[in-house]
Structure 1
Amino acid sequence: MTMARPSFEDLEHPGYSDDTRRLRVFFDTEFSDLVADPKLISIGLVDETGERTFYAELAHVMSAAQVSF
């Protein structure tokens, strides 16, 4: 038996009613070198209106040799 994967529109969230507008959130991440031992350096998020944003950098210190950009 093959089960179809739900589309993004079919996903439900507890507490959301049918008349609640879904809001898209875009994110961007920066990692250290992805070859050997990748480490998350930072993450940024913004909603589709641009009104709500979030940015965080991890506290660990990395040398320039460990960063791929």
Structure 2
Amino acid sequence: MQPALSVRALLVVVAVLLAIIAAMGAAILAHVGGQRLPNALATGGACFCAALPLVILVFSSAGAL
């Protein structure tokens, strides 16, 4: 049995927030590591694009989505 629509929507919001946290961490580490700000933000964006599908995949593999 699948969870209710509101629970699945909440898990998607949690996945987006986790991806944002990962992207911010990657951007900060890139900037501290010597990259200029636009390049560090691009690194954070790439991290967001990589982390979001992974978190959603983990949730769906656990049967939550």
Q: TM-score, normalised by structure 1?
A: 0.24
User: Between Structure 1 and Structure 2, which shows a larger proportion of helix residues?
Assistant: 2
Q: Highest CA radius of gyration, 1 or 2?
A: 1
Q: TM-score, normalised by structure 2?
A: 0.24
User: Between Structure 1 and Structure 2, which shows a larger proportion of strand residues?
Assistant: 1
